[in-house]
Chains A and B, each alone.
Chain A
Amino acid sequence: MRMPDPDQDVLARRLDIIAALRKIVPVEGVIAEEEELRVYECDGLTAYRQLPMIVVLPETTEQVSRVLAYCHEQGIKIVPRGAGTSLSGGALPLEDGITLGLGKFNRILDIDYGNRCVTAQPGVTNLALTQAVSADGFYYAPDPSSQIACSIGGNVAENSGGVHCLKYGLTANNLLGIEMVLMDGEVVRIGGKHLDAGGYDLMGVVTGSEGLLGVITEVTVRILRSPATARALLIGFPSSESAGDCVAAIIAAGIIPGGMEMMDRPAIHAAEAFVNAGYPMDAEALLIVELDGPQVEVDELIGRVEKIAREHRAESVRISTNEIERENFWAGRKAAFPAVGRISPDYYCMDGTIPRHRLSEVLNRMTELSDHYGLRVANVFHAGDGNLHPLILYNANNPGELEKAEAFGADILKLCVEVGGVLTGEHGVGVEKRDLMGEMFTENDLNQQQRVKCAFDPTQRLNPGKVFPTLHRCAELGRVHIQGGQTRFPDLPRF
């Protein structure tokens, strides 16, 4: 993966830069020893590694602002980092860049039940937000599987989703306000505790911008009252077609489950071997459907879903009758990644989204690709919203196998785009899918996105090398190309 050429001039000034940073943040907040820098050399996409030039761990917004203003003035690149769980290399360091970690921003600042929201620093974990309000019967809805580790700032930067996002939305739909520091050190507050924007929806475009527009230093999210109850069905199917048809029929019947997850045979087997959840081993596809809400509603909908499942060739249906059973149904799905990790030395997790009705076609083509590359693949799938997570199994110690896995992964993502889907449903573009962006977007599309980048960070020092396959200078992108004739507007000019 080609990253922007390191700036030799910046590298030569490394010691001066360290000294300058130590004047802004406490001495122990500037990390320069190779051994300690190692900790930051990659994020959740471990195939890519790079030692950062320096790591800085500020403790206040003011320090972030001063660090950025200094770097802006000195022409130094910045890579923001939350918990480092990104699966697309969004927090991959740069050789000549400073990784700015938000780990010390770990406090919840305000719990406001009157306005049903929580304000927290960006380093607070996703799960900690829910834990802070759960005793009072509330929760924060988006729940990425990495929720014990990932930070809320990272969630905003990636617009993360989770099992519940079909019904309750992604991060973007649950975010009320942010404080953010721009590359030149300017601190801006966007949104607050109210709904929607009075002018342009800046928060909307910052959400999911992968650390390229600003460093988020405070987050306000809306919290919801926990549903009165939740029950799940565990349904085994003889084919992925029938499972896919069942999903479509549930939604066509007007039911939006709290969660609806699918696993294919290899994933079922890996999970069952790992946690003994009692999954049907003869099924080709397994569906977990969770209904949450008021008791009467859940009870009635469970019945309706069961009926639909049986009409769609379900071979086994189990319905949870208590919390232990429900959690047991989920145990295998939740452990799917580590379970696959047990049956293969390495795995590579993909994240495309497809229109659901193309599922069986995509799975068939994936099987062909699996034969072609000689690598196995297990599928877990957010079935309700068409978000696929194929896990490609490989062994990095076999020469060439990582490259093969990556080529296989790229083919899967191209296939997703080909059938009308997208490259990434929730993990982000980062460095991983950067060079595939042209599969989905034209040059015009990408240029327009980059102009948004320029509106926030005209010198492009924030997280360069991520998301965009080619970097254009902002001045070049800003130029207007006049092509039209003037025939329609005869009487000139009117500005």
Chain B
Amino acid sequence: MIETFNPDSADEAGAIVSDALAAETPLEIVGGGSLRGIGRPLETGYALSTAGLSGVSLYEPEELVLRAGPGTPMSQIKMQLDQQGQMLAFEPPDLGVLMGGDSEQGTLGGIVAGNLAGPRRVKSGAARDHFLGVEAVSGRGELFKSGGRVVKNVTGYDLCKLLAGSWGTLGVMTEITVKVLPAPEKTRTVLIECADAAKAVAAMTQALSSPHDVSAAGWVPQAVASRSSVSYVSSTQKALVAIRAEGIGSSVEARCEALRDELAAFGNIEELHSHNSSRFWEEMRDVRLLDPVEGDGCIWRISMPPASAPELLGGLHDALDMEAFLDWGGGLIWAHVCGMADGGSYVIRRALGTGQGHATMIRGSLEQRLIHPVFQPEPAPIEKLTRNLKEAFDPHGILNPNRMYDGI
């Protein structure tokens, strides 16, 4: 049984970490718990939950800023932003169902700690790019802050960047300030039939290199497309490239028309309007179109230069029993690998090489995550910096120990 502490203030969170430090007792840091299965398995007897550090404490739409506790449910933040016609532009995904749980369990802290981002990543950046300020407790039990509440700030080191994507291994965030942006008035998606990955990447590259301000570009093979709840997508019985345009109505219409002209040579073209377009990209964002995971099935997220995607994808298909689709204009592969004891780890990491991108085992069994690296192994000099940074924030390994790498 894990005993869980529920601080309701930053000071209390600090006191708990200080006590844990004195008792040399590591803590698991949990938000909504929806991403708990990501990372190497933790073996802590105690947890610190951010559930009590919840609520939006500042939201000024005209200033494009929102501040909330890390335990604030994403659904609540989304609701408040919706009311003002705004959004988190990095399109935070809800990976609850992909991870084998329920949807709508995620918190702001989890999204930021994982530096997650959805399809709009290609245009608008990831959580890191919208993370303006933080207050956190380090593994030293000390409260510190970085950044601020204004969108333009270079005062001191940007510790927000380090905390984003550190999966709770550097600090317990107690307050998070993010940039928010106006939500688009309208969304439409141009669908192009295209079975070949190389051609699909070429089409996406052309779209993203056009002046038509594309906000998402992905490719779904036929089997993946067929699981969409949007009948225009599933009923085509074809592999599809999807290109999204967002903004004011007249502009979206004109750009979709221009994109259809521009991409006509790649294959037959359809268009998804408002609701269907939104629904399709939600499925892409939340990775809902892959076959459900069973047994030793593993879900991978691979980020690489878009131009390398076709070859990498081809190589992986040759070596693995795998289903995959592309997002981020080809810069992101989501893959479901079956029938491999190591979840495909060896093949994927060897094909990707060093310094050419990174692969993360987003979902795998306890054993797979224990034995095989979940996060991209780092070359020696980078690993050394990583260790030094862990030492700087959490020298005794109190926070989520070993979650990312051995000792990190």
Q: Which A residues are closer than 8 A to B by beta carbons?
A: 112-116, 137-138, 158-159, 161, 165-166, 169-170, 172-173, 182, 186-190, 192-205, 207-209, 225-228, 248-249, 251-252, 254-256, 293-297, 300-301, 353-357, 382, 385-387, 420-429, 433, 437, 440-442, 444-449, 451-456, 467, 478, 480-489, 492-495
Residue pair B165, A485 in contact (C-beta under 8 Å)? no
Shortest beta-carbon distance from A224 to chain B in Å: 9
Interface of chain B residues 360 through 380 with chain A (CB within 8 A): 360, 375-376, 378-379
Interface residues of B (CB under 8 A from A): 5, 15-26, 45-46, 60-65, 85, 115, 117, 121-122, 125-126, 128-129, 138, 140-146, 148-162, 164-166, 170, 181-183, 185, 205, 208-213, 247-248, 250-251, 254-255, 258, 303-307, 328, 331-332, 355-360, 375-376, 378-379, 381-382, 385-386, 388-389, 391-393, 395-397, 404-405, 408
19 other contacts beyond A424-B155, A451-B392, A482-B21, with CB at 8 A cut-off? A112-B307, A114-B205, A188-B381, A196-B121, A196-B358, A200-B166, A200-B170, A204-B164, A208-B154, A226-B211, A293-B247, A294-B255, A355-B149, A355-B150, A356-B63, A385-B150, A429-B156, A433-B155, A456-B385
Report whether A207 and B158 are in contact in the complex, using a CB–CB cutoff of 8 Å: yes
Tell me the smallest distance from the CB of A264 to a CB of chain B, in Å: 19
> How far, in angstroms, from A269 to B160 measured CA to CA in the complex?
41
16 contacts across the A-B interface (CB closer than 8 A): A113-B205, A115-B307, A159-B158, A192-B356, A201-B128, A204-B160, A207-B161, A225-B210, A254-B182, A254-B183, A295-B254, A355-B60, A387-B152, A445-B146, A484-B17, A484-B20
Q: Indicate if the CB atoms of A208 and B157 lie closer than 8 Å.
A: yes
Q: How far is the CA of A201 from the CA of B355 in the complex (A)?
A: 14
Instruction: Tell me which of B63, B122, B306, B332 has the highest count of chain A C-beta atoms within 10 A of its own C-beta.
Output: B63
* Chain A-chain B contacts (Cβ-Cβ < 8 Å), number: 323
Contact status of A115 and B162, CB under 8 A, knowing A456-B388, A484-B22: no
Query: Given A158-B154, A173-B125, A480-B396, is A444 in contact with B144 using a C-beta cutoff of 8 Å?
Result: yes
- Considering the chains assembled together, what is the distance between the CA atoms of A228 and B306 in angstroms? 24
B-chain residues with CB within 8 Å of residue A428 when the two chains form the complex: 154
Bound-complex Cα distance A354 to B65 (A): 12
Residues of chain B lying within 8 A (CB to CB) of residue A442: 144-145
A354–B385 contact, CB under 8 A? no
On whether the beta carbons of A445 and B126 are closer than 8 Å, the reply is no
CB distance from B8 to the nearest CB of A (A): 15
Contact present for B154 and A421 (CB under 8 Å)? no
Interface of A is mostly: loop
Query: Chain A's nearest CB lies how many Å from the CB of B144?
Result: 4
- Which residues on B sit within 8 Å (CB–CB) of A295? 254
Q: How far is the CB of B238 from chain A (nearest CB, A)?
A: 25
Structural contact, B162 and A205, CB atoms closer than 8 A? yes
Is the beta-carbon distance between B128 and A204 smaller than 8 angstroms? yes
Q: For residue B44, give the distance in angstroms from its CB to the closest CB of chain A.
A: 8
Given contacts A301-B248, A495-B24, contact A483 B162 (CB under 8 A): no
Residue among A190, A226, A452 facing the most chain B CB atoms (10 A cut-off): A452
A426/B152 in contact, CB under 8 A: yes
Partner of A452, one of B23, B205, B389: B389
Cα separation A295 to B211 with both chains bound (whole Å): 10
With a CB–CB cut-off of 8 A, which chain B residues contact A207?
158, 161
Contacts A190-B382, A252-B62 given; does A198 touch B358 at CB 8 Å: yes
Q: Is the CB of B162 within 8 A of A296?
A: no
What CA separation (Å) do A254 and B26 show in the bound complex? Answer: 45
Do B5 and A488 have beta carbons less than 8 Å apart? yes
Say yes or no: A300-B248 contact (C-beta < 8 A), given A201-B164, A445-B145.
yes
Query: Would A494 and B24 count as touching, CB distance under 8 A?
Result: yes
Which of B140, B145, B166 contacts A441, CB < 8 Å?
B145
**Closest residue on chain A to residue B360 by CB atoms:** A198
B23/A385 in contact, CB under 8 A:
no
A-B pairs, 7 with minimum CB distance? A204-B161, A198-B358, A198-B376, A484-B18, A297-B251, A254-B182, A455-B388
Whether the pair B22, A445 counts as a contact (CB closer than 8 A) is no
- Residue contact A256 to B19, C-beta cutoff 8 Å: no
* Contact across chains for A486 and B22 when beta carbons are under 8 A apart: yes
Q: Please name the residue on chain A nearest to B15 by beta carbon.
A: A484
The residues of B that contact A189 with a CB separation of less than 8 Å are: 355, 379
